[in-house]
Structure 1
Amino acid sequence: MPATLHEHALFAGDPVLAGVHHLDLDIEPHAHDFLEIAVIGAGHGRHVTSQGEHPLRRGQVIVLRPGAWHGFRDCAGLTVANCCLSAQALRAELAALHDLPMLRRMLWTDPVASGTHGVAVTTADPAAAEEAIAEITLLERDLRAEPSRPGRVLGRLVTVLGILADGRDPGQEALEPAVHPAVAATIARLEAAPAHPWRLDELARSINLDPTHLGRLFRRHVGLTPLGFLARLRAERAATLLAQSTLPAARVGAAVGWDDPTYFARRFRTLVGLTPTEYRRRSRSAARPQQGS
């Protein structure tokens, strides 16, 4: 897997990164600033997250939001297929993925839920997982093709995501409605200016809704309150700054809207599972050559 785990170095302007890896060595816990989907194939190993260590099983699908961290231990012939999406692209050319209920739950709702620290682990049908691994192999090939094949890459990405979504519990996603326009508009405002000192009444007033009603809509469509979503957004933006810059932690917090350094450290640890200093250390340790992500 890549020797560095920072978006600006890995993606080189592309929205997607992919690879299939066979691990026999431990991968130390590390952080990164993009969205990662890891599909587990054959072999053995243990997954390390803020929730502890757990045995890996064939067919597991691990989704990590930007700012999340993980590692692998006791690996023996472990197959891990990675499909990584640029955080910048998720706010731009890949933003439409959020409009699809089955993908919204997999890539957004589940991993940003309270207490997950940006990590969601589910299990797909083993046949679906193997099919997804095969498609990720082809996606890796298409990404390396000369001349570039952006249309084929996008099509392959959607295929991978569709296979994994279909391999989950089919009933849960089918019940999810399309994102309410008021929720979409509020998300756009928050993403455009996460450092603004937003209040719920201000957000509700901007879209002519009662604050309580907006809160209910957000919980239904996002799984968080508007301000809970804002906190997660700030934590992800802070993780990017911690990984990619040398700004002191206090200035990072202020840059994303948390002016009080103590409060920033507390909120970041609650949402990510590490203090800002620990996160920066792990994101930098990822620059050492490794076989996995």
Structure 2
Amino acid sequence: MRTSTLRESDVFGGGPVSAAVHALTGEVEPHGHDFLEVAVVGPGSGGHVTSRGERAVREGEVIVLRPGAWHGFTGCRGLTVANCCVSAGALRAELAVLHDIPALRHLLWTAPMAPGAHGVLVTRIDPAAAADAIEEIARLAAGPVTSGARIMGRLLTVLGTIADALPERPVTGASAPHPAVRATLAALELQPAHPWTLAELAGRVSLDPGHLGRLFRRHTGLPPLAYLARVRAERAAALLATTTLPAARVGAAVGWDDPTYFARRFRALAGLTPTEYRRRASGG
């Protein structure tokens, strides 16, 4: 099965958000992303392929893919899929505020970054709510919007329409992250290759390591070092797809100096070995 990688430089027109509504027929080859994608499924039929296998899609499904995750569609017959894509860099910068909204934190971070998810969340909302979300994505895709505030407003409308219809309630903290959690998230995102320990992270925010661990897990669903591993896997996926660096150097660049350990951790988090991921990312 061939896989390619969609890159921000090919999809985004210089802004932090890209959107489109597609009527799919036949096959959509498996492809990865170096950005975050939210796909809403409308009427039609087809199959959805991820690292966990193939399954039939249903109207109302919402598919969230973290950077580095891959998927594809098979046997599509008039299948409507609306895509709302968000720059990974923007999620770490001007759109990081989305992490403060519990429902969006669950949708975009906690659920797809959970152990065994391989960076993919598949859930389902009422088809009527999905139709509303598809309509909002179509509006977002309809024309150029240069105002950052207007882009944020339209993106929040899309994501809010989905989040309000989710059947599952967020299991992480219902409030904005504690300042110590916010500072720890920023440190891990800014320097994923640093050999962080829980003790060092706790010392930076003047908390007991156990207390920081509990606060962090309450708001993200993961312990700090497990969250770091997910961030490293996403950065490694981008390097594997967009550079010719040897896999061992990719691992070292994101903080995993031991090639064997890097291969094991990457496979556990992405569903493929680094070599397999690169081969599929190049369409081989």
Give the TM-score of the pair, scaled to structure 2: 0.94
Tell me if the contact between 2:5 and 2:32 (Cα under 8 Å) persists in the aligned partners: no
Larger CA deviation: 149-158 vs 168-177: 168-177
- Give the deviation of 1:253 after TM superposition: 0.7
2:270: which partner in 1? 272
Q: Which residue of 1 aligns with 2:282?
A: 284
Greater shift, 212-221 or 17-26, is seen at 212-221
Partner of 2:257: 259
The match for 1:161 is 159
Q: Is the 8 A contact 1:37 1:82 kept in 2?
A: yes
Q: Structure 1 regions of 5+ residues with no counterpart?
A: 287-293
Change (3 A) 1:176 1:151: closer
Could you report, residue by residue, the CA deviation over 1:167-211 in whole angstroms, capped at 9, with x for unpaired residues?
A: 113754797222121111111111111100011111111111111
Question: Which SS does the other structure have where 1:130 is aligned?
Answer: helix
SS of equivalent to 1:259? coil
Residues in 1 aligned to 2:206 and 2:172: alpha-carbon distance in whole angstroms: 29
The match for 2:33 is 32
Q: Following TM superposition, by how much is the alpha carbon of 1:128 offset from its aligned partner in structure 2, in angstroms?
A: 1.1
1:234 corresponding residue in structure 2? 232
Q: What stretches of structure 2 of length at least 5 have no aligned partner?
A: none
- When structure 1 is superposed on structure 2, of 211-220 and 227-236 the one drifting more is 211-220
Show the counterpart of 1:8. 9
Contact 1:182 1:207 (8 Å CA) reproduced? yes
Alpha-carbon distance between aligned partners in 1 of 2:209 and 2:277, rounded to the nearest angstrom: 34
Identity %: 64
Show CA shifts across 1:30-59 (max 9, x none).
211110000000000111112211111110
C-alpha offsets along residues 133-165 of structure 1, whole Å, 9 cap, x if unaligned?
01111111133x6xx454433221111011001
Question: Paired residue for 2:124?
Answer: 123
Contact 1:42–1:77 at 8 Å: present in 2 too? yes
Asked if the contact 2:118/2:269 (under 8 Å) is kept, the reply is: yes
Cα distance, 1:261 vs. partner? Answer: 1.1
Q: How is 1:211-250 mapped onto 2 (pairs within 5 angstroms)?
A: 211-250=209-248
Q: How does 1:45-194 map to 2 (within 5 A)?
A: 45-143=46-144, 148-169=146-167, 171-172=169-170, 176-194=174-192
Structure 1 ranges of 4+ moved more than 6 A: none
Deviation sequence 1:232-282 (CA, Å, 0-9, x none): 000011111112211111111111001111111111110000111221222
Counterpart position of 1:290: none
Structure with bigger RCO (C-alpha 8 Å, 6+ apart): 1
- Tell me the distance in 1 between the aligned counterparts of 2:259 and 2:98: 34
Shift of 1:28: 1.9
When the two chains are superposed, the root-mean-square deviation of aligned CA atoms in Å is 1.8
Provide the secondary structure at the position in 2 that maps to 1:26.
strand
How far the C-alpha of 1:122 sits from its partner, in A, is 0.9
Write the distance in 2 (CA, Å) between the matches of 1:99 and 1:92. 13
How far apart, in 2, do the equivalents of 1:284 and 1:137 lie? 30
Specify which of 197, 200, 208 is matched with residue 198 of structure 2: 200
Q: Deviations over 1:212-231 (max 9, x none)?
A: 11111122111111000000
Q: Judging changes above 3 Å, is the alpha-carbon distance between structure 1 residues 174 and 199 closer, same or farther for their aligned structure 2 residues?
A: closer
How has the CA–CA distance of structure 1 residues 282 and 102 changed in structure 2, closer, same or farther, with 3 Å as cutoff?
same
Structure 1 length-normalised TM: 0.91
- 1:239/1:182 CA distance change after superposition, 3 Å: same
